[in-house]
Amino acid sequence: MFVEARQNLPANTAAAAEKRLFPLTRKLGGREMIFLYLLLALIAVIAVLLLVCLVRACINRKSVPETPLVRKENPDAMRIAGKLSKMVQVNTVVLPGEDNPHQFDPMIETLSQLFPNVFEKFQRMDYLDNNLLLKWDSGNHDKEGILFMGHMDVVDAAGKWSHDPFGGEIIDDVLWGRGSIDIKSGLCGFFEAFEQLIAEGMTPNRDLYIFCSRTEENSGPGAQMAVDYLHDHGVHLEMVLDEGCSIGESPMDGVRRPYALIGLGEKGYINIKFTARSNGGHSSEPPHVSTIGRLSKFIARIEKKSPFKCKMDPTTRRMLETFAPEMPLKQRFVYGNLWLFTPILEKIYRYKDGFKGAMLKTTAAFTIIEGAHAANILPDAAYVICNLRLSPHDTVESVVSTMKAIASRYGLETELMGGRGASEITPLGSVPYLAIEKAVHKHFPEVGVTPYLILGGTDARHFTKVCDNVLRFVPHALTNEEVGTVHGRNEHISIHALANEVPCYKDIILELNQ
């Protein structure tokens, strides 16, 4: 149209009109034009990428109705809960620094009374300082064995409880007591599964093992002793299944149904002590900045901006990709296109708190601080202890170095108090993982299944020395409220959640026993 109009105008008028319509192109030189074309090309590429992401988000959609966590009633629940009740009634609290092997004699005796078939078929392999290691010898040494494990010890039951923490009371289908979830419920579940399978005449096609530690809660040597024993006797296992994950309510914003999280590995754990020193003195003549003041500035610096970079490990990536199709479009657009958005999420999540931040980076939590023991004394030394949970991409050395560099700016001493790096990660899609996934889908059809990197710690990490497939999962369905009572007051579990563990454990055993 412009060309036609231009042809009907005098030459000078047409030139003036062209100047008015295309002032920019007439002023730009060769370099500027190249830059403009490159900018337009970049915008076009970005538009295409975003369009591809939108199309993928629309196509990769799974319609999942909003599903609450439901524990179907189990007719055997009260009988099985009666066994857990007796286990809870045995006080197995172990405080930090305590070590009394014979404290667990009553617990082991209780297990032998509750599960006589198990203790008839399984033989105790060694005393191991009263950590319980049992084996059902199949006679078939061509196949590697499988091991189910948990711990007998529990944390202290401090504070005021609404029910006796060692009473094992069952009220309105709820069992109350310390260890009712962590983790005597898991022990009860797989012991009962073996008890029933033996009664039904199962014959093992591979060696079967049970391990019950008495030192998990105080990070003692029980699990390592069992691993060393197995290793020294030439045992290598096909699977180790420990606690650490379960079936829970929606694990993340935008996910509309419960999920079974199967732990493939766990973050590392270290404690670092930071100390500020001075000459001390009387509080009536305080210095400009006190020892506690220097510690406070250091804490504020770490909490304001995490010194640790985010990096998405393969396990977390797979988890988010599993969630993505079920999420609303806005979240599906991002999590369904991690091939593009991972670098952006790594930048954003560095400044996130809680679950999102902990997924992708090493976290630092200041848990203990101490100075003077009187209000009118300036302490000559004050310290704070920081608990750090290490992501797989960080090492103990790199984390200590980073924290030490920052602490030195505030005149603080740095002391590593011990710990470990992240565990080895079990390969995704292994035969044991698929067996667990299959059993969950069968007994909890409304529940999704995904791999997970555990943010806390378990005894399972020790067993990578004798097993390539170390997994962390207990098939009980827990509400967020129930999970919140673990290590806290009024720990409790639904007796139906407990009883529904058993058929799931049985199917896992049978699948791997083929």
- Identify the CATH number of the domain in which residue 191 sits: 3.40.630.10
Q: Are residues 408 and 345 in the same domain?
A: yes
Same domain, 162 and 188: yes
DSSP state of 166: T
What strands, in cross-sheet order, belong to the sheet with 269-277?
363-370, 381-389, 269-277, 412-420
| Percent of the residues in the chain that have a pLDDT greater than 90, as a whole number | 88
Half-sphere CA count of 50, side-chain side, radius 13 A: 7
For residue 313, the domain's CATH number is 3.30.70.360
In a domain, 497, yes or no: yes
pLDDT surpasses 60 at 24: no
Residues 239 and 271 in one domain: no
Q: Is the four-CA dihedral 110, 111, 114, 119 of positive or negative sign? A: negative
Instruction: Say if residue 431 is in the same domain as residue 416.
Output: no
Measured CA to CA, the distance from residue 507 to residue 129 in angstroms comes to 32
Q: Tell me, yes or no, whether 345 and 407 share the same domain.
A: yes
| Residue 94 and residue 212 share a domain | yes
The answer to whether the CB of 491 falls within 8 A of the CB of 485 is: yes
| Rg over CA atoms, the chain | 30
Question: Is there a single domain that holds both residue 316 and residue 219?
Answer: no
Same domain, 221 and 362: no
Q: Please check the confidence at residue 485 and state whether its pLDDT lies above 70.
A: yes
Domains contained in the chain, number: 2
pLDDT bucket at 1, cuts 50 / 70 / 90: very low
- Any idea which of 31-45, 163-177, 183-197, 314-328 has the lowest mean pLDDT? 31-45
In angstroms, rounded to a whole number, what is the distance separating the alpha carbons of residues 162 and 165? 9
Q: Are residues 154 and 185 in the same domain?
A: yes
460 lies in some domain: yes
346 shares a domain with 383: yes
pLDDT tens digits, one per residue of 83-102:
999 999 999 999 988 899 99
Residues of the domain holding 298:
259-420
Per residue in 48-75, pLDDT tens?
999 999 999 999 999 999 999 989 999 9
| pLDDT(301) > 70 | yes
Q: How many CB atoms lie within 10 A of CB 160?
A: 6
- Report if residue 187 sits inside a domain: yes
Residues near 338 by beta carbon (within 8 Å), at least 6 away in sequence: 312, 317, 320, 321, 345
Residue spans of alpha helices (H) in 281-328: 291-304, 314-323
Q: Is residue 299 part of a domain?
A: yes
Cross-strand bridge partners of residue 450:
261
Amino acid (one-letter) located at 168 = G
Asked if residue 237 and residue 92 are part of one domain, the reply reads: yes
- pLDDT attached to residue 430: 95
Helices (H), 447-493: 480-483
**pTM flag (> 0.85):** yes
Residues 198 and 290 in one domain: no
pLDDT score of 23: 55
pLDDT in tens, 366-375: 999 999 999 9
Flag whether 37 is in a domain: no
